[in-house]
Amino acid sequence: MLSLKKYLTEGLLQFTILLSLIGVRVDVDTYLTSQLPPLREIILGPSSAYTQTQFHNLRNTLDGYGIHPKSIDLDNYFTARRLLNQVRALDRFQVPTTEVNAWLVHRDPEGSVSGSQPSSGLALESSSGLQDVTGPDNGVRESETEQGFSEDLEDLGAVAPPVSGDLTKEDIDLGAGREIFDYSHRQKEQDVDKELRDGAEQEDTWPGEGAEALARNLLVDGETGESFPVQVPGGEDQTALSLEECLRLLEATCPFGENAEFPADISSITEAVPSESEPPGLQNNLLSPLLTGTESPFDLEQQWQDLMSIMEMQAMEVNTSTSEVLYNAPPGDPLSTNYSLAPNTPINQNVSLHQASLGGCSQDFSLFSPEVESLPVASSSTLLPLVPSNSTSLNSTFGSTNLAGLFFPPQLNGTANDTAGPELPDPLGGLLDEAMLDEISLMDLAIEEGFNPVQASQLEEEFDSDSGLSLDSSHSPSSLSSSEGSSSSSSSSSSSSSSSASSSASSSFSEEGAVGYSSDSETLDLEEAEGAVGYQPEYSKFCRMSYQDPSQLSCLPYLEHVGHNHTYNMAPSALDSADLPPPSTLKKGSKEKQADFLDKQMSRDEHRARAMKIPFTNDKIINLPVEEFNELLSKYQLSEAQLSLIRDIRRRGKNKMAAQNCRKRKLDTILNLERDVEDLQRDKARLLREKVEFLRSLRQMKQKVQSLYQEVFGRLRDENGRPYSPSQYALQYAGDGSVLLIPRTLADQQARRQERKPKDRRK
DNA sequence: ATGGGCTGTCATATG
DNA sequence: AGCATATGACAGCCC
């Protein structure tokens, strides 16, 4: 019960807010197993954001906070953010759709372009284009439906009364006053407080008899210790659950294994495939970033996998349709069906592709060939710098020179029969799928290294930070403003930063701080105040813990000492309360009013000290080092009650400062967390954009290789002038760029051999 | 009147 | 052990 109660309090609420910002589920298990670095650090151990030294960032960071936690706007800000996150969760699976929609728009013309190419001669292109348009739509609709379901769940969760509330109430409400537990000690002070409170209005009537008077006036105060249950916002969890469910459903529809290997060497393809139908291009190494990039330990791999699954669903539909057109043609007229668009004049009736050099084709695998350039590859400029200029990575990734193994689906390879001669397997269905599988399995590795799939899937909710709902991105110098997402998010950031500016301008730190507070030293012990050393703790009462502009904070010298070097109690004595005369009271004139004012401004401990005739200031009591403090006590003949009070004053005063520091630190931690979240969101958005571009490139290349393979293979003729059966023969690329026509059985063997290699290497 | 935020205080843990 | 500090929890005050 106690631990539950613990979780249901302020800390959890704050973390809930923060977690909800990045879409991380808020149930405790996930909470504790969280692997996301900032959150994990906060929960499981000290972090850079949670260490005390970070507290100084409160004043050191001049880039400012988007919205200050105590600004009036902050509440609305967080609330709005949470709500917006929930709203954003509605199109969780449309995350890539934002990208994919654009992709689809251009997918259609691409299909038509390909289909209209006279030499490509592949009827599948147009049909694949059709499929491509309809397929993803289905996928999107499906995910929308599921998302709607999850939204319903979420709504239910949000409306449902928090169960924990009753628990907490039962747990806390013990039906006993707090004084029961420390009656003897606290009652005295409570009585004193009561007396003082009463006396403050009926003038100071404290008899001044010290402990005896205390003992005579024992009264039980009404301090009951009643508490109120803390309500934990519900709904987040259910949202996460439903989203997770959706993700699982979505993944279940994508029949990809994790251990699939990519058997063939695609770099050979880029070198070998002829370029008849394509104008010269460049970047035969374009594939390498697609594949080597996945080996880098991205934190968002799981999310990418989600995206990949979505993308792949679409790709699968394309491939399926392609395969159907290609390989399930009516048996009656297979040749005319499959090769009808092949050139009527064969290249060579006795063509021997042994040593047939198909060089120059590498240029055709350019993303930027006219056909491809017609596609709005959103930010090819961002893609290019990421392309390592070595093609060996392609070799290592695809690892095989067997085009047949590369292109032909396993089932076709295995069940090749002579009667199905004209059936031409989908060369690139295998290519892309295997590539995807390879990528996904690499992602899995990264995931195993510590990225929680749940987190990733929930992080995906934030993917559409391009929607303008993202966190303020203008603060970070690392913000990549190259993309379309940054511009929209910067608009939101401008509003948030302006609100923070207004909030910080709304209250003036220095004006309030100028009002004197600790009046003891002036009204009672001016001579003591002269020697008083130390930070004026009560001063913060006028600061009201206002953390506006850090630059303003840095202008307050004594606050430089409020930190975790614990030097604040050695602050300049110049800042003692004696040197901070309240201007407003001075202007008021009459000394009675001034005294009255000062009297009201005195803290309870100051009243107590005054009542007990403590001969020195509370500042001294609180801020003197232990040695000096003890020395001071020894100078005076103090009663036991006075000594007790002095020690309590010291304890309370120090604790008060500690509490203030603690709260500052807590806020600072939250701010740091928020900044971390912003950075992560920016990184995530950037990585996802890059991934979408990579996928787009891969898809385009897949289609190109597919068509080129078909074309080359379709033009081959045996000695009798008949086309080769794709079930019996396959094209294979040699390492030197030559292309060989080999029997499928041999090709399959080589493919299997190549498959084993990467697995062994991985082990 | 009331809820939420702020602050002081206590209890307790930790260094 | 004593002290200082950190922090969760609570109550009271104020807006």
In angstroms, the CA A91 to CA A97 distance is 9
Nucleotide nearest to A546 (CA to C1'): B6
Q: Where are the domains of chain A?
A: 602-672, 726-757
pLDDT tens sequence across A713-726: 888 888 888 888 88
Q: Grade residue A690 by pLDDT with cuts at 50, 70 and 90.
A: very high
Cα–Cα distance, A124 to A367 (Å, whole number): 21
* Span CA (A167) to C1' (C6), Å: 28
Q: What is the mean pLDDT of chain A?
A: 47
Question: What does the pLDDT read at residue A683?
Answer: 97
Indicate whether A634 pLDDT > 80: yes
Nucleotides of C under 7 A from a protein CB: 3-13
Question: How far does the CA of A196 sit from the C1' of B9, in Å?
Answer: 17
Whole-number percent of chain A with pLDDT over 70: 20
Q: Does the structure show a pLDDT above 70 at A43?
A: no
A679 pLDDT tier (thresholds 50, 70, 90) = very high
Q: Return the minimum-mean-pLDDT range out of A37-41, A334-338, A665-669.
A: A334-338
pLDDT 10s digits, A561-586: 333 333 333 333 323 333 333 333 33
Higher pLDDT, A378 or A661: A661
Q: Which nucleotide has the least CA–C1' distance to A185? A: B10
Q: Tell me how far CA of residue A373 lies from CA of A381, A451, A483, in angstroms.
A: 13, 36, 18
Q: Is the pLDDT of residue A610 over 50?
A: yes
| Strand B bases, protein C-beta under 7 A | 4-12
pLDDT in tens, A372-382: 333 333 333 33
Question: What is the structure's pLDDT at A643?
Answer: 86
Report the C-alpha gap between A243 and A249 in whole angstroms: 10
Residue A392 pLDDT greater than 90, yes or no? no
Which residues bind near strand C, taking a CB cut-off of 7 Å? A 5-6, 9-11, 50, 52, 172, 178, 197, 221-228, 564, 566, 569, 625-626, 629, 650-651, 654-655, 658-659, 661-662, 665-666
A648 touches strand B (CB under 7 A): yes
- Rounded distance in angstroms from the CA atom of residue A632 to the C1' atom of nucleotide C8: 33
Report the alpha-carbon distance of residue A536 to residue A548 in Å, rounded: 20
Residue among A606, A615, A613, A625 at smallest CA distance from A533: A625
**Three-class HEC string of A268-336:** HHHHHCCCCCCCCCCCCCCHHHHHHHHHCCCCCHHHHHHHHHHHHHHHHHHHHHHHHHHHCCCCCCHHH
Sign of the alpha-carbon dihedral angle for A313, A319, A325, A329: negative
According to the model, what pLDDT value does residue A696 have? 97
> Are the C-beta atoms of residues A262 and A398 closer than 8 Å to each other?
yes
pLDDT of residue A685: 97
pLDDT at residue A636, as a whole number: 86
Most confident of A41-45, A489-493, A663-667: A663-667
Taking a C-beta distance cutoff of 8 angstroms, is the pair A549, A494 a contact? no
Provide the CA A205 to C1' C4 distance, Å, integer.
36
**Cα torsion through A402, A408, A414, A416, rounded to 10:** -110
Residue A704 belongs to what H/E stretch? helix A640-715
Residue A354 confidence (pLDDT) above 50: no
Q: In the structure, how far is the CA atom of residue A226 from the C1' atom of nucleotide C10, in angstroms?
A: 8
Domain spanning A602-672, CATH architecture: Orthogonal Bundle (1.10)
Specify which residue's alpha carbon is closest to the C1' of nucleotide C9.
A9
CA of A452 to C1' of B5 (A): 36
DSSP bridge pairs for A743: A729
Give the residue carrying structure tokens 């080769």.
A724
Q: Stretch A15-27: mean pLDDT, rounded?
A: 45
